[in-house]
Amino acid sequence: MLRKLYDWVLRLAASDRAPWALAVVSFAESSFFPIPPDVMLAPMVAARPNRAFIYAGICTAASVIGGLLGYWIGVHLEPLGHAILSIFGHPNGQAEFQHWFDKYGLWVILIKGATPIPYKLVTITAGFARFDLLTFVWASILTRGVRFFMVATILKFFGPALLKEFEKRMNLYATLLVVLLVGGFVALKYFG
């Protein structure tokens, strides 16, 4: 089932409707869909590198808007939110993520949004936690933008071979990005 869905998304990437399909997949992935938009973004950028940043912008905007749907599900449709978390392997996700939001707040969105962890888990549980909506939106724009523009940049300038290397070590690179972000904030606080 998942493989058929994955193949369907790849076929959409090659169609004339690819930018619209990219927006729909990016939107849906942020709230309920299992396939990440990178599956479409990568072949689209490889085929038309001159449009890499347009495609990354489409992914970012649609993902943030889809994240608002995920947030809304967490606030207003809690049973559906629990069902989605269960489907993605987090049946006790509300308590787990609530703990993360209580302890780390904004950092949950900034860190999880840039990693391969399904973003829908963050958006729905941010709604459960009634996390500040304005902060949720700007953090989503930042973190999703970083992720999609990083993928588009790598593909545009270095090609698909480097993207495969990046995907293999995405957790390492995401961790390095977080260390740089935290280090930058600490440096600004103490030296700024």
Region of residue 105 (phi > 0: left; psi between -120 and 50: alpha; otherwise: beta)? left
Domain total in the chain = 1
How far apart CA 108 and CA 73 sit, in angstroms, is 18
Query: What DSSP state is assigned to residue 91?
Result: T
Highest-pLDDT range among 44-48, 60-64, 94-98: 60-64
Do residues 141 and 149 make contact, with C-beta atoms less than 8 angstroms apart?
no
Question: What is the pTM assigned to this prediction?
Answer: 0.76
Instruction: Identify the CA nearest to 176 among candidates 146, 140, 154, 137.
Output: 146
Q: What are the phi and psi torsion angles at 129 (to 5°)?
A: -80, -10
Least confident of 17-26, 100-109, 111-120, 166-175: 166-175
Residue 159, pLDDT above cutoff 80: no
Rg of the chain over Cα atoms, rounded to whole angstroms, equals 17
pLDDT of residue 55: 96
Segments forming the whole domain that contains residue 83: 2-191
Average of per-residue pLDDT values in the chain: 81
Residue 155, pLDDT above cutoff 90: no
